[in-house]
């Protein structure tokens, strides 16, 4: 796993378990422009990034 292939681990927002935090009005829903900029990762991609950051 590298940063070069991290984009292969992007999942659709509909599959992102925390999407409610960005899409529901009671949590200050993001604008469409900002929602479209989000790139949620699958478990492998998220773990890679978390390990890199720690």
The encoded tokens of residue 26 equal 């009671």
Number of structural domains (the chain) is 1
Task: Look up residue 1 and give its two tokens.
Answer: 């796993």
pLDDT more than 90, % of the chain: 93
**pLDDT tens column, 10-35:** 999 999 999 999 999 999 899 999 99
**pTM of the full structure:** 0.80
Cα separation, 11 vs 44, whole angstroms: 11
Report how far Cα 46 is from the mean position of its chain's Cα atoms. Answer: 8
Question: What residues make up the domain containing 17?
Answer: 3-53
- Ramachandran bin of 39, using left for φ above 0, alpha for ψ from -120 to 50, beta for the remaining angles: beta
Place of tokens 């929602």: 35
């Amino acid at each position: 796993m590298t940063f070069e292939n991290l984009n292969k681990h992007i999942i659709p927002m509909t599959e992102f378990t925390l999407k409610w935090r960005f899409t529901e009005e009671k949590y200050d829903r993001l604008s469409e422009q900002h929602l479209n900029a989000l790139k949620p990762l699958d478990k492998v991609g998220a773990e890679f990034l978390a390990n890199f950051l720690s």
